[in-house]
Amino acid sequence: MRIVVLVSGTGSNLQSVIDAVADGSLPNVEIAAVGADKHDTYGVERSAAAGIETFVVNFKDYAERSEWNHELTEKCLSYEPDYVVSSGFMRIVGEEFINAFDGTYINTHPALLPSFPGAHGVRDAMAYGVKVTGCTVHIADAGVDTGPILRQEAVVIEDHDTEETLHERIKLVERRLLIATLADLAAK
Ligand code: GAR
């Protein structure tokens, strides 16, 4: 199973996938490439260090969102992936991309969707005052963190949590769910 992983930042969840592929825990998964929507992300840097092909389709280089979306779609298609994984990819992709990867675009989100979608899932859950949040791995459609849910797990919010401590605990679960989801998909 060939995957392209898209990142916008640190790529710590991506690193767990790189490690799982390297240590044989995901025997049928190949990371064909890692792409980002901006320059100088640690996600791309760590992928290059692991010998994985990388690319950047820099959002700010395009006057029109549709042009960026077209370029991103073409670039991802060029690797002939079975799945594209949004792992902390913080841009909404357009119709052309969604149509090209219909049902094969996977996203992870640090909240129990459909609650708290968007760029600040952890912060929004804390601000609301929920006592349990979690993470979701789902097939992404044209909405913001919407689409059929594949895996989900709860994480309890502790009184002493900050956004950072809670997000770190959520990410530990998120990594496990992402790897389990990829293993499931690769076994199909
Ligand atoms: C992850 O928690 C991911 O779920 C979240 O960004 C983080 C990326 O961390 N994505 C979203 O919020 C998407 N709406 P990482 O770069 O360290 O893997």
Q: What is the pLDDT of residue 85?
A: 98
Can you tell me which atom of ligand 1 is nearest the CA of 11? 16
Q: How far is the CA of 159 from the centre of ligand 1 (A)?
A: 23
Helix (H, G, I), strand (E, B) or coil at 187: helix
Residue 118 dihedral angles phi and psi, to the nearest 5°:
100, -170
List residues bridging with 67 in a β-sheet.
none
Q: Please indicate whether residue 39 is annotated as part of the active site.
A: no
Distance CA 156, CA 55 (A): 37
Going by C-alpha positions, the residue among 166, 167, 150 that lies closest to residue 158 is 166
The domain ranges of the chain are: 2-109+137-152+175-187
Q: Does domain 2-109+137-152+175-187 have CATH number 3.30.750.24?
A: no
Ligand 1 neighbours, Cβ below 6 Å, are 7, 9-14, 43, 87-88, 108-110, 119, 121, 145, 171, 174
Per-residue pLDDT at 118: 96
Mean pLDDT, 10 residues at a time, the chain of 188 residues: 97 97 96 98 97 98 98 98 97 96 97 97 98 98 94 98 98 98 96
Residue by residue, DSSP assigns 73-140 as: HHHHHTT--SEEEESS--S---HHHHHHTTTTEEEEESS-TTSS-STTHHHHHHHHT-SEEEEEEEE-
Torsion angle in degrees (nearest 10) through CA of 35, 38, 43, 48: 60
Q: Are the beta carbons of 136 and 148 closer than 8 angstroms?
A: no
- The SS3 call for residue 53 is coil
pLDDT for position 188: 87
132-139 and 149-156: which strand pairing?
A: antiparallel
Q: Give the amino acid at 99.
A: N
